[in-house]
Structure 1
Amino acid sequence: MLKKVVTEFHQSLMDNVKVSRKKLLLLFVFSLVLVAIFSVQFSDFSMQNYIPRHEWPSVTCPFLVSQQTITPIDDTRHLLVSGYMDQRVKGLDVRIISLFNKNAKQPLYCLFCCAGSLSTSTPASVFPHPENFGFAYVTTDVMCQIPQDCNATHVTVLTEPFTQDPTKLSNHTWLPLRNRNKHLSDQEKLKFNFTVCISNLFGDYDNVLQFVQTLEMYRLLGVDRVVIYNTSCGQNLDRVLQIYSQEGFLEVVPWPIDKYLNPSPGWLFSISGGDIHYFGQMTTLNECIYRSMERSRYVLLNDMDEIIMPYQHNNLMSLMDALQKQHPEAGVFLIENHIFPKTIFEPSRRFHLPQWEGVPGVNILEHIHKEEPNRKIYHPHKMIIQPRMVEQTSVHEVLKAFGNKVKVPLDVCRIIHVRYSIREPSYKDFRMDKRLWDFQELLIPRVDEVLKKVGLLNETVRAEE
């Protein structure tokens, strides 16, 4: 058809030189229109669904920002948790804390929102943590480089490079990038001296008395903030969490891991089964380190029934000032665990207080018999760390760090861990340790005040006294 039109146009010029300029112009325009229609009809792609790359900045992003702490990656078996700026590893700018199925491997790509405009996609480097205790899901770092001249505010993960129309991302979920305040000084960034990271609340955990005693003990030691990851807990403890959250001392991070996986209540797959170790404990510990990296000088990594207790200092700041002076290159301080069996009570029962009758949980002041550890076998530690000197952590030791590690002497600091004994105790294994009693005059009224707010304090008994 196109050939015929061109032939007729040429013939008309040859046969009729008297054709007016106006008619010639009209015939020429008509020919161009036919050529354009022909080209579009047989093109490899439709212009209707294409936005040129130079026009991408006009497309506003992010389209859908995740409001959850766990976000699935489309078309995969993997889960994203949170994204952080982290330029400590050369050539990689962003670290996304994630949960990956170790049996599902595929290439991944990061796409960034650059202050409202889309970037090009960059290949993702995937770094599974070395410990998974036999479970299918493992804590994983997804790391990417931000394209040049991109002021990245959000990130999303794709299973193929981004070459399509950006409007097709309208239903894709983005994560906000945290720790972006690179221009601030250390003094401006660090809001807290000490943050305690506790993982995880699950099941019907309702050990209210020990929980309140532990948090108030940490307040006395100088802790500024406690972060806890909550899947579920008992009703009484839930009220305690609300009170501490309202005061600003406690940050409760929702952790609905049971909506996505079958979490294990144990640490070893061969014994407990499930998809992931201890409701994702290692993932939440790592997430808490990065959450605290730009706002806390030190982070304590321990459980709800443990107190990292200084024995030669009255607070944690004095302890750490002394330790850092002795070990200026250290970023990880290992604190040995000591179990105080909750089945062995102090004989006089002087701290079996009547106003705490009816409060669910363990009274740590009644348990002063310390089990002597068996150091011929593995004996666990918990840690105080400088978060900016840690890259990856497990529960009892750091996996990757930028500084040195130090085991703190027992006479300087150790963990008071009130729980069931891990072996059949006998009195010959015990040593009296009344360190908690040094704080009882300040601790008891603080605990009473919280229990009163919760509605669990036996005020009738207090009035009779």
Structure 2
Amino acid sequence: MEKGKYRAVILLVIVGYFFITVFNILPPKTNWVSPKPKPVLPLRLISQQSITPLPNTKHFLVSAFMDQRVKGFDIRIIGIFRRDSIHPLHCIFFCAGFYSETTSASVLLHSDHFGFPFGATDVLCRIPENCDATHVTLLTQPSPVNVSDHLWLPIRNKKTPSKENRLNFTVCISNLFGDYNNVLQFAQTLEMYKLLGVNRVVIYNTSCGPELDRLLKFYSQEGFVEMVPWPIDKYLNPSRGWNFAEHGGDLHYFGQLTTLNECMYRSMERSRYVLLNDIDEIIMPYKHNNLNALMDSLQPRHSNVAEFLIENHIFPKKHFEPSGRFNFSRWNKVPGINILEHIYRESPDRKIYHPHKMIVQPRLVEQTSVHEVLKKFGLRYKVPMDVCRIVHVRVALQGSLKLEQLNEDKRLWDFQEKLIPNVDKALQRAGMLRVEERS
């Protein structure tokens, strides 16, 4: 009886194996293998540069951002284009595993170019359906011949940070060039912005002096400064002035208009407000202790304002505060201007154009120039000068004015108890001040 059971089991195994083999009732072998990962774009094809020449054109690409505020488009590419050489372009995407079909590009030259041959340019692209785009580039033909001949730009701003991680204030400093080495004023301005509530300063660097380079490295290491290499002089002959007829060159002020726009988009999803100004300018609240309090006061009454204009006020560096109370011997060894020594302010000449700089809500701005926004989705508001103005220590704008014709303005002195030791620490970290010399 036991032998019969044993033979029956063996028979069932044999019959079962026969059916499995002959009729192939096991699931297909491929279903037992884990899916292959999607191919990624080779690293050698991803641009590692802040300025990327576009093949077969006279144009340059800078960066690409997700931007769906303009109907019909998803991506905005910031670039520098030769204005007399615009021809049809086509967008192509890498879609997390495959190359997309091309879509037509819309090229938008910025209206401010000051007569220079090259100007800041936006290129708008539409992402094809079923494409999870990670990178983009432009083609001169609708059908790609060899996409590996192009460098691809990563698409930024795809993920929106949470409100808890969003910064309040970012300052965009457009360009450093000509081996700029005004170290003392730079350190004072950065420390002043810290006291005013700025979270990050973005600086585009073509060249600067060795001492300033050391200072900026320490600010970069602590995360307060974000340095963006800007080797524009390797590709074009950038102008040191704003007027093509007077200064010549290919591009206004080393590409200032492009860097301001790039910085605004770079900060769009991570900063509530962006300050667009030069490094020797401090956007200074006069009725509030910091920028947070200033904007908390303005925002409820001007929630739909994209552009807050702040009036520029010159403090001529040739006039010094007479007591010399801030003329520290330890700072005399540091290259640059001591802004605490300059308390005399010019009154703007209202008969001529008087420039402003800006605090913007970046989500409401599409294109900006140096002194005003070019395209926006909100309104403009000129902040009264008694509420906020720019402290700008530089060469006199109205050189004929005598000292008695200037206004005494000691607003910077309200911060001197914290500002001075903080500047000392920054200079010490950069090796320009010994510990025993600090106040």
Q: TM-score, normalised by structure 1?
A: 0.84
Report the equivalent of 1:7: none
**Is residue 336 from structure 1 mapped to residue 311 from structure 2 by the alignment?**
yes
* Aligned CA-pair RMSD: 1.5
SS at match of 1:61: coil
Q: Distance in 1 between matches of 2:171 and 2:153?
A: 25
Report the equivalent of 1:175: 153
Contact 2:319 2:403 in 1 (8 A): no
Match among 361, 367, 370 for residue 392 of structure 1: 367
Letter aligned with residue 449 of structure 1: K
Q: Distance in 2 between matches of 1:315 and 1:448?
A: 22
**Is residue 306 from structure 1 mapped to residue 284 from structure 2 by the alignment?**
no
**1:116 shift after superposition:** 2.0
SS at match of 2:94: strand
**1:172 shift after superposition:** 1.6
Q: Distance in 1 between matches of 2:362 and 2:354?
A: 24
**Is residue 318 from structure 1 mapped to residue 293 from structure 2 by the alignment?**
yes
Report % sequence identity: 64
Contact 1:333 1:383 in 2 (8 A): yes
Report the equivalent of 1:24: none
Q: Distance in 1 between matches of 2:243 and 2:162?
A: 40
**1:353 shift after superposition:** 1.0
**1:163 shift after superposition:** 4.9
SS at match of 2:152: strand
Q: Distance in 1 between matches of 2:99 and 2:137?
A: 11
Q: Distance in 1 between matches of 2:405 and 2:65?
A: 46
Q: Distance in 1 between matches of 2:161 and 2:180?
A: 41
Instruction: Choose 270-279 or 326-335, whichever is displaced more.
Output: 326-335
**Is residue 440 from structure 1 mapped to residue 421 from structure 2 by the alignment?**
no
Q: Which runs of 5+ in 2 are unaligned?
A: 1-36
Q: Deviations over 1:135-168 (max 9, x none)?
A: 000100011110011111000110001254xxx2
Q: Which runs of 5+ in 1 are unaligned?
A: 1-56
**Is residue 106 from structure 1 mapped to residue 87 from structure 2 by the alignment?**
yes
Match among 402, 414, 432 for residue 426 of structure 1: 402
Q: Does the C-alpha gap of structure 1 residues 174 and 429 become closer, same or farther in structure 2, counting only changes over 3 Å?
A: same
**1:325 shift after superposition:** 1.3
Q: Distance in 2 between matches of 1:159 and 1:435?
A: 55
In our comparison, the structure showing a higher alpha carbon Rg is: 1
**1:58 shift after superposition:** 8.2
SS at match of 1:170: helix
Q: Distance in 2 between matches of 1:260 and 1:273?
A: 16
Q: TM-score, normalised by structure 2?
A: 0.89
SS at match of 1:457: coil
**Is residue 347 from structure 1 mapped to residue 322 from structure 2 by the alignment?**
yes
Aligned residues: 401
Q: Distance in 2 between matches of 1:229 and 1:298?
A: 19
Q: Deviations over 1:187-246 (max 9, x none)?
A: 25x521000000100012100000000000000000000000000000000001100000
Q: Distance in 2 between matches of 1:371 and 1:306?
A: 15
Q: Distance in 2 between matches of 1:402 and 1:98?
A: 21
Runs of 4+ off more than 3 Å: 57-63, 458-462
**Is residue 143 from structure 1 mapped to residue 124 from structure 2 by the alignment?**
yes
